[in-house]
Amino acid sequence: MDPDAVKSTLSNLAFGNVMAAAARDYQKEIVAKEKAQAASASHDEVDLDELLDDPELEKLHAERIAALKKEVEKREVLKRQGHGEYREITEGDFLGEVTGSEKVICHFYHREFYRCKIMDKHLKTLAPVYLGTKFIKLDAENAPFFVTKLGIKTLPCVILFKKGIAVDRLVGFQDLGSKDDFSTRALENILKMKGKWYGLHD
């Protein structure tokens, strides 16, 4: 018998045994991992069941649901008061509208003025975003009493009211760089700056 052939055969057998042993070890490792995952999953289920029965968690959940319901009710009340939209009012409606909400932004405008139309476009975009503030507009030509009373001399004029009192104003576009092509964001930032005390947020 050729000693090299015997050596080769023995080497092949040894390699085959090593491969078989490695395959068995790999299979054992996979089975162990699957068992560990199954145990972990059942452990997670137990933890989840324990969490579902946790009175503290139930209390937090109930409080969160109550807070969400209260927020929805508050938003509905504000919508019924005319918040969330940009509406035109008459001089006769003015006092009721301005005193009927805590925060009101009123645009005094003239229907023929191009800059008033630009202001309209931006305020219409902001109204649904800031539900806590009522956005209205009033034709200055048809509201001579309040134009005089509030000392409005330049249009557009946006007046910020808090609890029925005029607390600040934006006259023309001078705070907006005196340009017609300002962004809604620029107007929003000016109103926020003017209204730090005012709480223009939502």
- Rounded to whole angstroms, the Cα distance separating 131 from 202 reads 7
Domain count, the chain: 2
pLDDT digits (tens, 9 = 90+) for 157-190: 999 999 999 999 999 998 998 899 999 999 999 9
Q: Which residue has the higher pLDDT, 197 or 125?
A: 125
Report if pTM > 0.75. Answer: no
* The domain boundary residue, chosen from 81, 99, 117: 81
* The domain boundary residue, chosen from 81, 98, 132: 81
92 and 152 belong to one structural domain: yes
The string of DSSP letters for 112-155 reads T-HHHHHHHHHHHHHTTT-TTSEEEEEEGGG-HHHHHHTT--SS
Q: For residue 142, is pLDDT > 80?
A: yes
Residue 112 to residues 4, 135, 190, Cα–Cα distance (Å)? 108, 20, 25
**pLDDT value at position 14?**
55
| CB count in 10 Å sphere of residue 43 | 10
- Rounded to whole angstroms, the Cα distance separating 116 from 156 reads 5
Amino acid at 96: G
CATH number of the domain that residue 88 is part of: 3.40.30.10
pLDDT digits (tens, 9 = 90+) for 77-89: 777 777 889 999 9
Q: Kindly report whether the peptide bond that precedes residue 3 is cis, defined as omega within 30 degrees of 0.
A: no
Q: What sign has the CA pseudo-torsion 169, 172, 176, 177?
A: negative
Q: Which two tokens stand for residue 67?
A: 């807070």
pLDDT digits (tens, 9 = 90+) for 6-22: 455 555 555 556 566 66
**pLDDT value at position 25?**
74
88 and 146 belong to one structural domain: yes
Q: Which residue has the higher pLDDT, 110 or 60?
A: 110
In a domain, 9, yes or no: no
- Rounded to whole angstroms, the Cα distance separating 45 from 169 reads 60
Q: What percent of the chain has pLDDT over 70?
A: 77
Which residues have CB under 8 Å from 84's CB, separation 6+?
A: 75, 78, 127, 128, 131
Nearest Cα to 158, choosing from 148, 172, 147? 172
Q: What integer best gives the mean pLDDT of the chain?
A: 82
Q: Which two tokens stand for residue 126?
A: 């902001």
Amino acid at 67: A
In a domain, 67, yes or no: yes
* Structural domain harbouring 60: 53-81
- Rounded to whole angstroms, the Cα distance separating 125 from 186 reads 12
58 and 89 belong to one structural domain: no
The answer to whether residues 135 and 108 touch, using CB atoms and an 8 Å cutoff, is no
Q: What stretch of H or E contains 89? A: strand 86-89
75 and 127 belong to one structural domain: no
* The domain boundary residue, chosen from 35, 62, 81: 81
